[in-house]
């Protein structure tokens, strides 16, 4: 007995070790070519390179899309994209320096996300690295010369912090994640799921999609970092759309995310989700239009998550603080109160789950090879710090592991898992009563309850309107006179950020997760927003733009055919 | 969501599936396929005409039934459709790409692309040829690939509804716009065509994926032996599929299409920094008929050697004088300056857009365009020529019109344009040449097998001698022989723009020559690079001094894109051009205006084996 355990442990250790130390042809080729190129480029007299990195993103995916019991062929593939970073000049002033100009600042673009062979063909890999290094270096030298001119003619910048922070090198090699997806089983599952929409004649179009993907990132830099890490993504997306008699396009959806396809919900849960998507849509078709309204509202946890992601999260992204074309809502607010004192906001890429829900915004290392860590942005209402990449800003000299990108674009600071924590949490029923009380106090016949939301957007630049818009799908009027809640449609929430925070009165006690993909300068990155529901004393909704097209002129063809007994073939 | 850097950020679960969800799927299926038509099937007379029984395939049943029902479409006070057309391209493809011995991608796809068009008004005046119309009003995603009758009906129902609403809107805008325009010489909007019933099954895609992947991997590995070559790639596409067509005139067509192609391309930098490029393309209708691996290896190796030689060659100078186009280069020349000028483009109505500039042959029917000894035919029914399989054949065009042999030039006199069902000034009625979708319910014409012959020839082997004689009589130090043009072009978009703008005014600029030789009085040749034609148009064909007794065949994927630039047009069709070598008098060549980026500071990595 006593011997068995150590033996098994030793065996496990050996297995784990061999996996861990698995020789990576790609990483070796990357670090050899990095050294070879850097040794020449750092000695070039005109514009010596002082830093280089290579990042290769390897993606393997499989997905299936079904409509009304029919399934499209399996979509699958594997690819690698290469991102090269070359810095010339000095960390204080290099080719990534933000240049002020018309139409906002830009930091230049040097990488192209070229396709790299997905096989371990050293010649093919090295040649691509060499050619892309050459073009990145060329672009870097040219831009540094332009920047030097620009910084001489313009007035001094308010934030004169350096362009690149120093960070300790990271060395980490994880075994690449294996893509697991049982295509045959899923084909039948999505076929059956999508066929359920046949029971809902008012649904015009519907789709059920499932996708499974692995990302493996390979990173080397001239400071000695050498990283291989990865993660999986799996997702089920159920969507439906319909057209109301006045032309309004309506759509509902439901998504489920997990790290692996095997972690996606059971058939029962998915069946229920299809029914909910279809029923919500059917109810929306009959629901009255929302009227423009100013008054109290509850955001469900998912809706509140998106609300915070848009109006708060994007405004604490570090690089915006030194970009003078940005609104810089919070640039000078560190140490001061920006949210009600019962709220804290943490960005935690190391958190993989909330309850039993997998989060979408986690990673081990960011795209600059900096180790992921939790960042408390707001503690008890007080702004503590920003989300940082390796681009320093005044008062914040280092990265906190939030430099992210989609392959082919340059890194900027981005959100990860946004988690709203509340010290003034009340049970949902209490929150609802507080909504009714607040509506009465304001002499409103009802308050609003935003149950679900498709997403939102915000403008952070000075040249634009400093505002946000959040697009709810399911909205209820909660009447003060005890009438049942009433579903309404066609409302957009609009507002300005600072005014909105001050109106948060309390929160619910159950965190909900919104998993999604966030798009910004550095492309689309996976994120999560986690929040309890929140009660706000005042929110404004406006009418949504709508289509003036009539619904289909002819009735659904196969239903009609069945009813009339006509088998088609009319001529 | 791709509003990058504009300061607008968005998070939508619905549309933000990123690489993880439908987005990828969409990008695959949103691609317009590149259908290819297959010749080589026997055409039986019984297949024509209205007597054949309607096809029982679910897709045809769905199209037929929904089309019949859609005739009732109406909106109070607005007209009903007079013509409805469902065209569906189906494609199953295995594709792969490799560079320097490593695969970049490997993919198998199958999808259908619908082209649904509703015409309101009548043949004389309808909603076509006016603005771009509008997209689908419904979130339908890809056209169903499984043959479920009710799902196909639903898709067609919603898309027809959307097309009809677009049509009634377009015709009222078109009427309003036309009120201010003189209508005296107005031509009809749509030509009549005979109903046709023609059904041929598609072939299943049978492909040995790993052996093809191995082949392109090893072909791409050839370039590792040439360290001066910077960019190189080899790609493969094996496609089976075809075109379905159902229209309200009673036409029902299913035509199979298959093609296999392997394309190797590479580039290098000359010492002055300019880029030199070359390619070797291989096409076949049937994968089994493809050039074998040994021959491909030889051709790709020769191409790589030529490319290295081009990188070391001196830049050419201004030249005025006779130019000999040998073999393949002559076919490439005819494909461009004759092939691209055989279509007439109708200007969009209502002052929207200037349309294309007139082609070199517009208004020249009955005029002499080639020496008297020349004949040119476009013959989609021809399977082979002088023992070699032709690539551009087809039986029925995209609009359901049978395609027959068409005399293009007879004894040097221009006879016929390639026509579709869209009437153009002076011509009404299709001759079965609709090969590409062209928006707004119209199709664009293109060549099939374009055969150029001359009744007076000299042995091809003596053409160089004839050129030397000519130089001597003109007292010129050297002449020019061109053995390859960049066609279909592998240039970057920027380079193509530079080349086109240097030939300002030409309706169809000519691509740059790749293999250009100066030939001196003693017969020795010198490779040069970096020159392009100036003023080479269809009119230059009249200056042909002599033709060889050879017949070079160029098989290629034709497209409406300038220079048939690879990757610019999503929709390409098989074509062949057969032509003899030709000697043309008084052509002008000028040095190209190249970008000259510095050579890389770091030497190329060493090849590991």
Could you say which of B14, B154, B598 has the minimum Cβ distance to residue A239? B14
Is any Cβ of chain A less than 8 angstroms from the Cβ of B604? yes
CB atoms within 10 A of CB A422: 21
DSSP letter (8 states) at residue A331: T
Could you say which of A116, A237, A570 has the minimum Cβ distance to residue B22? A237
Classify the phi-psi angles of B587: left when phi > 0, otherwise alpha if psi is within -120 to 50, otherwise beta.
Answer: beta
Strand partners, B91: B111, B241
Mean pLDDT rounded to a whole number for chain B: 88
Contact indicator for B587, B526 with CB cutoff of 8 Å: no
Classify the phi-psi angles of B474: left when phi > 0, otherwise alpha if psi is within -120 to 50, otherwise beta.
Answer: alpha
Percent of chain B at pLDDT above 70?
Answer: 89
Close Cβ partners of A23 (under 8 Å, ≥ 6 residues apart) = none
DSSP letter (8 states) at residue B80: P
Nearest CA in chain A to B70: A554
The phi, psi pair for A378, rounded to 5°, reads: -130, 130
Asked if this assembly's ipTM is beyond 0.85, the reply is yes
- Give the closest residue to A492 by CA, choosing from A466, A514, A472, A468: A472
Under an 8 A CB cutoff, do B105 and A73 touch? no
User: What are the pLDDT digits (tens) for B235-271?
Assistant: 999 999 999 999 999 999 999 999 999 999 999 999 9
pLDDT of the residue at B350: 64
Residue A545, helix vs strand vs coil = coil
Is any Cβ of chain A less than 8 angstroms from the Cβ of B181? no
Angle between the N-to-C axes of helices B149-178 and A557-564, in degrees from 0 to 180, rounded to the nearest 10: 110
User: Which chain A positions have a beta carbon within 8 Å of B602's beta carbon?
Assistant: 36-37, 40-41, 130, 133-134
User: What are the pLDDT digits (tens) for B398-457?
Assistant: 999 999 999 999 999 999 999 999 999 889 899 999 999 987 788 999 999 999 999 999
Under an 8 A CB cutoff, do B69 and A207 touch? no
Distance, in Å, from the CA atom of A492 to the CA atom of A477, rounded to the nearest integer, reads 14
Distance of CA A397 to the CA centre of its chain: 25
pLDDT of the residue at A525: 94
DSSP letter (8 states) at residue B540: G
Distance of CA A214 to the CA centre of its chain: 16
The dihedral built from the CA positions of residue B553, B556, B559 and B563, taken in this order, carries a sign that is: negative
Distances (CA, A) of B61 to A195, A553, B148, B191: 21, 21, 11, 26
Under an 8 A CB cutoff, do A518 and B10 touch? yes
Distances (CA, A) of A405 to A56, A96, A414, B252: 12, 15, 8, 50
Distance, in Å, from the CA atom of B601 to the CA atom of B586, rounded to the nearest integer, reads 43
Return the ∠ at Cα B556 (arms to B386 and B533), rounded to 5°.
100
- Give the closest residue to B70 by CA, choosing from A553, A201, A567: A553
Is any Cβ of chain A less than 8 angstroms from the Cβ of B386? no
DSSP letter (8 states) at residue B380: T
pLDDT of the residue at B352: 53
Burial A119-156 (b: 16+ CB within 10 A, else e): bebbbbbbbbbbbbbbbbbbbbbebbeebeeeeeeeee
| Whether residue B27 has pLDDT greater than 70 | no
The dihedral built from the CA positions of residue B459, B462, B468 and B472, taken in this order, carries a sign that is: negative
User: What are the pLDDT digits (tens) for B325-353?
Assistant: 999 999 999 999 999 999 998 877 765 55
Is any Cβ of chain A less than 8 angstroms from the Cβ of B404? no
Considering only residues 38 to 67 of chain B, which have any Cβ-Cβ distance to chain A shorter than 8 Å? 54, 61, 64-66
Burial B278-298 (b: 16+ CB within 10 A, else e): bbbbbbbbebeebeeeeebbe
Task: Compute the nearest-CA separation of B75 from chain A (Å).
Answer: 8
Under an 8 A CB cutoff, do B65 and A557 touch? yes
Under an 8 A CB cutoff, do A75 and B25 touch? yes
Is any Cβ of chain A less than 8 angstroms from the Cβ of B70? yes
Under an 8 A CB cutoff, do B13 and A253 touch? yes
Distance, in Å, from the CA atom of A295 to the CA atom of A537, rounded to the nearest integer, reads 7
> What is the DSSP annotation of B542-571?
GGEEEEES--EEEEEEE-SSGGG-TTT-S-
Contact indicator for A481, A503 with CB cutoff of 8 Å: no
Alpha carbons within 13 angstroms on the beta-carbon side of residue B540 total: 26
- Give the closest residue to A65 by CA, choosing from A181, A183, A210: A210
E strands along A149-288, which residues?
A: 171-173, 205-221, 226-243, 249-258
Distance, in Å, from the CA atom of A377 to the CA atom of A317, rounded to the nearest integer, reads 10
User: Which chain A positions have a beta carbon within 8 Å of B102's beta carbon?
Assistant: 117-121, 123-125
Could you say which of A40, A211, A561 has the minimum Cβ distance to residue B21? A211
User: What are the pLDDT digits (tens) for B167-193?
Assistant: 999 999 888 888 877 666 788 999 999
Under an 8 A CB cutoff, do B10 and A519 touch? yes
Could you say which of B11, B102, B154 has the minimum Cβ distance to residue A309? B11
The whole-number mean pLDDT for each consecutive block of 10 residues of chain A, a chain of 571 residues, reads 32 37 84 97 89 97 96 95 96 88 69 95 96 95 87 68 94 92 97 96 95 97 97 95 90 92 95 96 91 92 90 89 79 90 97 94 97 97 96 94 96 96 96 97 95 75 67 89 90 77 93 92 93 94 79 81 34 25
pLDDT of the residue at A483: 94
Contact indicator for B335, B549 with CB cutoff of 8 Å: no
User: What are the pLDDT digits (tens) for B269-286?
Assistant: 999 999 999 999 999 999
CB atoms within 10 A of CB A382: 17
Contact indicator for A214, A80 with CB cutoff of 8 Å: no
pLDDT of the residue at A155: 62
**Strand pairing class (B457-458; B544-548):** parallel
> What is the DSSP annotation of B7-53?
TEEEEETTT--GGGSHHHHHHHHHSPP-------SPPPGGGSSS-SP
> Which structure tokens are listed for B345?
């483009």
Under an 8 A CB cutoff, do B149 and A204 touch? no
User: Which chain B positions have a beta carbon within 8 Å of A497's beta carbon?
Assistant: none
- pTM (two decimals): 0.89
Number of residues assigned to chain B? 609
More confident residue, A418 or B56: A418
**Strand pairing class (A49-67; A70-71):** antiparallel
Distance, in Å, from the CA atom of B90 to the CA atom of B205, rounded to the nearest integer, reads 12
H/E segment holding residue A564: helix A557-564
DSSP letter (8 states) at residue B599: P
pLDDT of the residue at B177: 84
Task: Compute the nearest-CA separation of B259 from chain A (Å).
Answer: 21
Residue A548, helix vs strand vs coil = coil
Distance, in Å, from the CA atom of B286 to the CA atom of B580, rounded to the nearest integer, reads 26
The phi, psi pair for B461, rounded to 5°, reads: -65, -15
Distances (CA, A) of A181 to A62, A184, A263, A383: 7, 9, 11, 43
pLDDT of the residue at A105: 56
Nearest CA in chain B to A47: B601
Considering only residues 80 to 139 of chain B, which have any Cβ-Cβ distance to chain A shorter than 8 Å? 97-111, 137-139
Distance, in Å, from the CA atom of B35 to the CA atom of B435, rounded to the nearest integer, reads 9
User: What are the pLDDT digits (tens) for B345-403?
Assistant: 887 776 555 556 778 999 999 999 999 999 999 999 999 999 999 999 999 999 999 99
Helical ranges in B144-271 per DSSP H: 149-178, 209-221
Torsion of CA A479, A485, A486, A491, to 10 degrees: 80
Location of structure tokens 């390796």 = A390
SS3 content of chain A, % helix, strand, coil (to 5): 25, 35, 40
Under an 8 A CB cutoff, do B601 and A241 touch? no
Location of structure tokens 């007299």 = A45
Close Cβ partners of B419 (under 8 Å, ≥ 6 residues apart) = B344, B427, B429, B430, B431, B433, B445
Close Cβ partners of B261 (under 8 Å, ≥ 6 residues apart) = B236, B237, B281, B282, B283, B284, B557
- Give the closest residue to A303 by CA, choosing from A535, A77, A65, A480: A535
Distance, in Å, from the CA atom of B322 to the CA atom of B317, rounded to the nearest integer, reads 15
pLDDT of the residue at A210: 97
Under an 8 A CB cutoff, do A127 and B100 touch? yes
Distances (CA, A) of B116 to A552, B157, B167, B244: 16, 11, 11, 11
């Amino acid at each position: 007995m006593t011997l068995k355990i150590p033996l098994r442990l030793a065996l496990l250790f050996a297995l784990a070790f061999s996996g861990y130390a698995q020789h990576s042809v790609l990483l070796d080729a990357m670090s050899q070519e990095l050294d070879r190129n850097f040794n020449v480029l750092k000695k070039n007299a005109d514009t010596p390179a002082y830093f280089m990195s290579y990042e290769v993103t390897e993606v393997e995916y499989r997905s299936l899309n079904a409509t009304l019991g029919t399934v499209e062929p399996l979509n699958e593939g594997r690819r690698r994209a290469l991102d090269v970073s070359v810095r010339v000049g000095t960390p204080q002033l290099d080719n990534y320096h933000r240049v002020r100009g018309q139409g906002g600042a830009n930091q230049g673009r040097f990488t192209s996300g070229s396709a790299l062979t997905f096989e371990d063909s050293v010649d093919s890999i090295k040649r691509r690295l060499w050619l892309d290094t050459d073009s990145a270096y060329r672009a870097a030298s040219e831009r540094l010369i332009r920047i030097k001119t620009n910084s001489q003619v313009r007035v001094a910048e308010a934030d004169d912090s350096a362009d690149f922070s120093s960070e300790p090198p990271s060395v980490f090699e994880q075994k690449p994640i294996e893509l697991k997806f049982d295509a045959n089983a899923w084909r039948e599952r999505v076929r059956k799921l999508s066929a359920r929409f046949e029971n809902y004649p008012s649904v015009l179009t519907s789709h059920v999609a499932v996708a499974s993907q692995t990302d493996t990132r390979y990173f080397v830099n001239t400071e000695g970092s050498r990283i291989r890490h990865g993660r999986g993504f799996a997702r089920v997306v159920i969507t439906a759309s319909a057209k109301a008699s006045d032309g309004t396009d309506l759509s509902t959806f439901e998504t489920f995310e997990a790290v692996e396809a095997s972690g996606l919900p059971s058939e029962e849960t998915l069946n229920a989700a299809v029914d909910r998507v279809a029923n919500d849509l059917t109810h929306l078709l009959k629901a009255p239009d929302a009227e423009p309204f100013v008054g109290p509202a509850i955001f469900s946890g998912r809706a509140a998550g998106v609300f915070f992601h848009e109006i708060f999260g994007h405004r604490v992204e570090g690089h915006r603080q030194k970009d003078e074309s940005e609104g810089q809502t919070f640039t000078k607010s560190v140490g001061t109160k920006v949210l009600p004192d019962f709220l804290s906001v943490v960005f935690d890429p190391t958190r993989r789950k909330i309850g039993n829900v997998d989060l979408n915004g986690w990673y081990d290392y960011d795209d600059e090879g900096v180790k992921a860590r939790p960042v408390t942005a707001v503690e008890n209402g007080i702004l503590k710090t920003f989300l940082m990449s390796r681009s320093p800003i005044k008062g914040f000299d280092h990265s906190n592991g939030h430099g992210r990108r989609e392959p082919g674009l340059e890194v900027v600071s981005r959100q990860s898992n946004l988690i709203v924590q509340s010290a003034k949490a009340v049970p949902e029923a209490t929150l609802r009563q507080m909504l009714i009380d607040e509506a009465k106090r304001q002499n409103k016949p009802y308050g609003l309850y935003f149950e679900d939301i498709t997403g939102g957007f915000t403008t952070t630049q000075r040249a634009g309107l400093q505002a946000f818009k959040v697009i709810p799908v399911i909205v209820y009027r909660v009447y003060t006179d005890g009438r049942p809640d009433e579903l309404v449609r066609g409302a957009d929430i609009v507002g300005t950020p600072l005014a909105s925070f001050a109106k948060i009165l309390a929160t619910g006690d159950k965190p909900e997760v919104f998993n999604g993909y966030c798009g910004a300068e550095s492309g689309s990155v996976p994120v999560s927003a986690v929040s309890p529901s929140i009660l706000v004393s005042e929110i404004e909704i406006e009418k949504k733009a709508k289509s003036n097209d009539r619904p289909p002129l002819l009735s659904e063809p196969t239903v009609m055919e069945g009813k009339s007994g006509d088998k088609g073939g009319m001529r | 969501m791709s509003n990058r850097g504009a300061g607008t950020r968005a998070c939508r679960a619905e549309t933000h599936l990123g690489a993880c969800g439908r987005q990828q799927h969409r990008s695959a299926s949103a691609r317009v396929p590149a259908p290819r038509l297959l010749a080589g099937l026997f055409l039986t007379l019984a297949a024509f005409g209205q007597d054949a029984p309607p096809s029982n395939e679910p897709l045809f049943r769905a199209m037929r039934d929904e089309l019949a029902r859609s005739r009732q479409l109406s909106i109070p006070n607005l007209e009903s459709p007079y013509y409805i057309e469902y065209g569906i391209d189906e494609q199953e493809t295995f594709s792969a790409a490799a560079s320097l011995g490593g695969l970049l991608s490997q993919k198998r796809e199958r999808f259908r692309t619908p082209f649904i068009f509703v015409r309101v008004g009548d043949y004389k005046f309808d909603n076509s040829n006016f603005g771009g119309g509008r997209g689908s009003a419904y979130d339908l995603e890809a056209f169903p690939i499984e043959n479920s009758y009710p799902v196909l009906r639903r898709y067609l129902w919603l898309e027809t509804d959307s097309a009809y609403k677009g049509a009634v809107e377009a015709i009222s805008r078109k009427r309003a716009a036309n009120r201010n325009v003189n209508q005296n010489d107005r031509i009809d909007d749509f030509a009549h065509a005979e109903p046709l019933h023609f059904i041929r099954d598609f072939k299943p895609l049978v492909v040995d994926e790993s052996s093809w992947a191995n082949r392109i991997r090893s072909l791409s590995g050839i370039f590792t032996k040439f360290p001066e070559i910077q960019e190189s790639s080899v790609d493969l596409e094996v496609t089976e599929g075809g075109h379905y067509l159902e229209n309200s005139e009673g036409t029902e067509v299913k035509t199979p299409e298959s093609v296999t192609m392997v394309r190797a391309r590479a580039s290098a930098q000359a010492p002055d920094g300019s880029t030199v490029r070359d390619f070797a393309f291989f096409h076949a209708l049937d994968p089994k008929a493809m050039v074998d691996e040994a021959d491909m290896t030889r051709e790709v190796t020769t191409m790589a050697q030529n490319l290295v030689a081009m990188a070391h060659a001196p830049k050419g100078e201004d030249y005025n004088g006779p130019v000999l186009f040998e073999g393949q280069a002559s076919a490439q020349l005819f494909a461009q300056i004759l092939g691209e000028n055989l279509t007439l483009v109708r200007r969009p109505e209502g002052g929207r857009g200037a349309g294309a500039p007139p082609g070199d042959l517009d208004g020249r029917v009955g005029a002499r365009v080639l020496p008297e000894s020349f004949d040119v035919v476009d013959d989609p029914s021809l399977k082979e020529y002088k023992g070699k399989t032709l690539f551009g054949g087809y039986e029925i065009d995209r609009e359901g019109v049978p395609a027959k042999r068409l005399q293009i030039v007879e004894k040097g006199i221009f006879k016929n344009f390639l026509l579709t069902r869209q009437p153009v000034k002076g011509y009404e009625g299709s001759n079965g040449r609709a090969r590409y979708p062209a928006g707004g319910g119209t199709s664009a014409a293109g060549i099939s097998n374009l055969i150029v012959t001359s009744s007076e020839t000299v042995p091809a082997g003596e053409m160089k001698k004839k050129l030397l004689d000519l130089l001597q009589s003109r007292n010129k130090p050297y002449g020019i022989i061109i053995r390859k043009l960049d066609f279909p072009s592998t240039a970057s978009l920027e380079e193509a723009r530079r080349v086109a703008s240097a030939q300002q005014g030409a309706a169809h600029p000519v691509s740059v020559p790749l293999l250009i030789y100066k030939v001196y009085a003693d017969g020795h040749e010198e490779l040069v690079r970096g020159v392009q034609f100036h003023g080479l148009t269809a009119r230059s064909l009249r200056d042909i001094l002599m033709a060889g007794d050879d017949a070079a065949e160029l098989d290629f994927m034709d497209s409406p894109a300038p220079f048939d630039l690879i990757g610019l047009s999503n929709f390409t069709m098989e074509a062949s051009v057969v032509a003899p070598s030709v000697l043309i008098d008084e052509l002008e060549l000028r040095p190209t205006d190249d970008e000259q980026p510095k050579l890389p500071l770091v030497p190329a990595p060493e090849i590991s084996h």
